Amino acid sequence: MQVEVSLQNGLLPDKYDKHTAEEFKDNGRPFVSFPFDIKNVPADTKSIAFALTDLDSIPVCGFEWIHWIAAGLDPKDVSVPENAGKENPLNWIKGNNSLAGKLMNLGNDPMSKGYVGPTPPDKPHDYTFTVYALDAKLDLKDGFWYNELLYAMKDHIIEQTAVNLHVNN
């Protein structure tokens, strides 16, 4: 399985992170998600899930920051358009990002379910975008948490692949 994200000089394009224009931010947070393609999905895949997280956030806030998680993507829908994190044109199940957690306490904010772009506060960060091909449709509802996704995927991952997305401070 391959995941293709268009990068510019090895970096996530500015439009999808803290360097975007103000018109693409909500309360200072970038909301336009990057487009991506998933190719060579295993034939026996029943659904796809994905997660965009930031391990470099651990020294800053004490945990891996969740920028975007989703499940229930039809394996035939392998071209995800720009801003799908907000518009959800492929009708996947939207998980909570870290805005919904107790640190930010923004669970009622529409941005807490969907994409919230990278905003490294201290130095350049590397973000991990992981896509999972699954042998089952997961029993999750909008607003699920990352740990719930990981538990639900246990013993159902056919293949997974990750892309490193670098963002300058």
Please give the full DSSP string across 147-166, using - where no structure is assigned: HHHHHHHTTTEEEEEEEEEE
Mean residue pLDDT of the chain comes to: 93
The pLDDT, as a whole number, for residue 160 is 97
Looking up residue 84, the CATH number of its domain turns out to be: 3.90.280.10
Total number of domains constituting the chain: 1
Report yes or no: 126 and 55 within 8 Å, Cβ to Cβ. Answer: yes
The predicted-structure confidence for 69-100, as pLDDT tens digits, reads as follows 999 999 987 899 999 999 999 999 999 999 99
**pTM for this model (two decimals):** 0.94
CA distance 20 to 99: 19
* Of 66, 83, 78, 59, nearest in space to 150 by CA: 66
The predicted-structure confidence for 27-78, as pLDDT tens digits, reads as follows 899 999 999 999 999 999 999 999 999 999 999 888 999 999 999 999 987 8
Q: Name the residue range of residue 140's domain.
A: 2-167
Is the model's pLDDT at 155 over the cut of 70? yes
Proportion of the chain in helix, strand, coil states, percent, rounded to 5: 20, 35, 45
